Structure 1
């Protein structure tokens, strides 16, 4: 990334207060470099930079330090869809790391279990939207290959971590109290309606065009066509909190590009899963996270064949950790979880027409936030590309019949 494309305020000196807090014998910064932190197509909602610093200590020794810095896009599309939200996603993520992640970790440490949910978070003294995070690479934590999808071992590891997160978040409500309104709304609030509409009904025609090429599509195509124009209102119902259900704080954006895994640095054995990117958290039914992850991120041969097996593994881990944390409310049954997955099945459709497109997209420089939403020839060309890739079509071809057989393409609401 060239210096000319960096924000003018991004200078070495703004990191000095963080470095002084982290290194008591900090003297000065010798070198500063900022590079793109993700590949095209791996991140959309924010600009991710890797910050590399060489610092000098008071004893004249030097140390190499790196951080991950998330910034807002400087574009009309971002301002129109996310930039005007009263619930600023950067403030929300920083609060997630500094408040709720710490509360969840303490819940586990109080019962003798060390559970990590993400990187350390810092704040720069600048008047710009940002989140500064520890670079986990030094701990043997790294992302997987997005296009390969997750194998069974990685899926099970992630589902355990998701269950630990959900369990702690539910216990938090029972012991400390409810979450603030911004976490009850997430992206289902009034400010997000335009974005949600574009991500649902706005993508329907692309989904239909691709599905019409599949052998056997006649089985579900009438339902697909009947959904157009009504998807948004049904998707918004997924965000309504039913107090009679088991509810937890959903990660909200749990797909392969927002997951990292820790490996033994000698044997490369998988040790742990990490959730990253806490900008879209939303309290409510756990089907939101389960459908989002299970439809978007496992390998093709696992996605449908292991669906119920993965749900059972998640459930077992959820109950184990709810009991460990002395949850005082009624424990959900496995049928309760499956009931949510059926009731909110439209979220599986939204995932298939949303983040699953990105999970299977070959790297391209046209993979930008603007091209997802802009009504331009370039935006139309990119959205067409999202839905027409060979790998995506292989996934969609098995996902649509699966969702159809579960009733997810039958809408409960139809506006006039």
Structure 2
């Protein structure tokens, strides 16, 4: 960057002092062969409150001057850790940084999966490009997908059948490639395959499940006809985390894949044809909590949180079949060498892993139903403060959440997911 060039830095939120224009200079030189200097640098909030709890998301916009005096504008999405005590308690003591994990996912494993498809003549994309900046500070830097026409959707409304099947197709492609990768190269390292289901993640799992039981019970006490479900939840209290860890244990006899493990509408972007608005593709984002195991983890999580409420349960089995057909198609395409799973085996796994549905209720389903509020934050989700108490009360008591709960909780109960035996 030229010393004589004035850099305009515009920020609307507090940004760590190490996040500055000079940090991006080498990346820009690699991107633009006629790079001369950086004209301006802006850091703005990349998401709205409630869209992303686990990390601080910035949208970085830079205006670049080239040697012919023309300018180009480029933008990135930058994920950073929160500086709060609540965040450090949840993530700070982990053996492996969630930022290193996600960067490895994007730069190693996503690339491996894409190459598997290229080897059989198919181009499949799973997400944005990822970059590494020369800094010891924790970060993940991603391509901003908006200039390419990608959009997020209003998560509270949920998505229709077309969008749901698009995401399930992408999950099937991802799962198929991840299984073929294991069949050819062996298992993933533990920091990639464990997700939250280890000692590092147990505290956060407990906060999200057993820790939220009082709020769920308080809400159920105001809902007519939910007495039996309230008794189920009361009977589970204190053992939910252990049950989740039990079903998360890998059964080598099952069909296992690398689950995305956080597949909901805040972590999905859709590409539409500019002229017609036709849905063209869906991308998954946020690969920091992947978990090796049954496909049921992703299916339960996504299908209980993201389709429109009126089709969520009504078409659950239909959606599983649509996913299954795509899974088998892509396993065959990639010449999977092991036994193909049957649809019955997938359904058995969905029943066996039902407690993961309760985790989805406490987390993304509540987040999906939440009205926009400035108090939605990682700190308020977990901290023992009046502000945290107030936010969690709002999160689990809204009429929208009750509508979701009224549909999903009895369905889980009827499938045996809430039995404590």
TM-score grouping bracket, smaller chain normalisation: over 0.9
Matched, 1:233 2:242: yes
Correspondence for 1:298: 307
Structure 2 partner of 1:353: 362
Q: CA deviation at 1:4?
A: 6.4
1:2-17 matches, within 5 Å, as: 2=11, 5-17=14-26
Between the aligned partners of 1:367 and 1:266, the Cα distance in structure 2 is 36
Compute the displacement of 1:215 (Å): 2.1
**Aligned residue among 31, 34, 57 for 1:25:** 34
For structure 1, which runs of at least 5 residues remain unmatched after alignment? none
What's the CA shift string for 1:282-303, capped at 9, x where partnerless?
1111111111101111111011
Query: What is the correspondence of 1:79-158 to structure 2 with a 5 Å cutoff?
Result: 79-158=88-167
Deviation at 1:46, TM superposition (A): 0.3
Match of 2:376 in 1: 367
TM-score (structure 1 length as normaliser): 0.97
Q: Does the CA-based 8 Å contact 2:13-2:44 persist in structure 1?
A: no
For the residue of structure 2 that corresponds to 1:119, the secondary structure is coil
Cross-structure match for 1:181: 190
> Secondary structure of the residue that 1:132 maps to in structure 2?
strand
SS of the residue corresponding to residue 372 of structure 1 reads helix
Once superposed, what is the RMSD of the aligned Cα atoms? 1.1
Name 2:228's counterpart in structure 1.
Answer: 219
| Equivalent residue, structure 1, for 2:69 | 60
Counterpart CA distance in 1 for 2:18 and 2:297 is 38
Instruction: Give the conservation status (yes or no) of the 8 Å contact 2:376–2:391.
Output: yes
When structure 1 is superposed on structure 2, of 328-337 and 224-233 the one drifting more is 224-233
Pair 1:401 & 2:410 matched: yes
Are 2:305 and 1:324 aligned?
no
Structure 2 Cα separation of the partners of residues 337 and 236 of structure 1: 19
Structure 1 counterpart SS, 2:86? helix
**CA–CA distance in structure 1, aligned partners of residues 147 and 376 of structure 2:** 28
Deviation at 1:115, TM superposition (A): 0.3
Q: Which residue is 2:181 aligned to?
A: 172
2:84 corresponds to 1:75:
yes
**Take 2:387 and 2:141, find their aligned partners in 1: how far apart are those partners?**
32
**Do the aligned partners of 2:12 and 2:44 also contact (CA within 8 Å) in 1?**
no
Query: Compared with structure 1, are the counterparts of its residues 3 and 360 closer, same or farther at alpha carbon in structure 2 (3 Å cutoff)?
Result: closer
> Given the superposition, is the C-alpha separation of residues 108 and 74 from structure 1 closer, same or farther in structure 2, using an over 3 Å criterion?
same
Q: Is 223-232 or 164-173 further displaced after alignment?
A: 223-232
In structure 2, the partner of 1:36 is 45
Q: Out of 197, 211, 220, which is 2:206 matched to?
A: 197
Q: 2:301 & 2:160 partners in 1: Cα distance?
A: 16
Whole-angstrom CA distance in 1 between matches of 2:161 and 2:37: 46
Q: Which residue of 2 aligns with 1:308?
A: 317
- The gaps in structure 2 that reach 5 residues or longer are 1-9
Cα offset, 1:281, TM superposition: 0.7
Distance 2:420 2:127 in 1: 37
